[in-house]
Amino acid sequence: MIKLGVPSKGRLMGDAFSWFGKRGITLSKAGSDREYVGKVDGIDGVELVLLSAGEIPRELAAGRIDLGVTGTDLIHEKLSARDSKVEAVVEMGFGHADLIVAVPACWTDVTTLHDLDAVAARFRATHGFRLRIATKYHRLVRKFLTDAGVADYQLVDSQGATEGVVKNETAEAIADITSTGETLRANHLRILEDGLVLKSQATLWRSKVSGGDVSKIVSHLGV
């Protein structure tokens, strides 16, 4: 039995169900909206596992599911040595989001990562602690900033509304995902010109360690 992991709620679940439905595989919740039991019609030998999008990378890497739908950002953030654990089957064309670095719009002289590095050095000299960048994506953002030569900063964890932390004075800048940029603008934030960390979208991934033969479902999907 091939186990297929799909996000358990929200727009990602609806879009994933629609994507599979257009390819002849009907996915549905077997019980009420509060139950995480799935049903598959249109193909034999496939079991639907409903999980949070953030859990799917872990389950793929552990081999507990054979296929999974989740964002590129979550795979890159949560899985070290990911190339030995998972591979992309197909990009699905929804769930588009960019992981970006943004600063207060009033920092008119800070437009690039080089500028951010200079500001961070001045900030530490002035305040005695490092400039804070709030994010949920510590692995990706740390590597991105290190590769860009940005120093004298600290990452602070944000699992809530990251765009609000600057206004609330719990961080000076953010690194978060955005699709339209409207929430950033509403919170008076601006993306750095070279602040794109990663472009992400929902993708169907295959576990390299589960041992399941997914060729039948992949063939059925025509990908």
In three-state form (DSSP H/G/I as H, E/B as E, the rest C), the secondary structure along the chain is CEEEEEECCHHHHHHHHHHHHCCCCEEEECCCCCCCEEEEECCCCEEEEEECCCCHHHHHHHCCCCEEEEEHHHHHHHCCCHHHCEEEEEECCCCCEEEEEEEECCCCCCCCHHHHHHHHHHHHHHHCCCEEEEECCHHHHHHHHHHCCCCCEEEEECCCCHHHCCCCCCCCEEEEEECCCHHHHHCCEEEEEEEEEEEECEEEEEECCCCCCCHHHHHHHCC
pLDDT in tens, the chain (223 residues): 999 999 998 999 999 999 999 999 999 987 655 556 789 999 999 999 999 999 999 999 999 999 999 999 999 999 999 999 999 999 999 999 999 999 999 999 999 999 999 999 999 999 999 999 999 999 999 999 999 999 999 999 997 788 889 988 999 999 999 999 999 999 999 999 999 999 999 999 999 999 999 999 999 999 8
Neighbours of 126 (CB within 10 A): 8
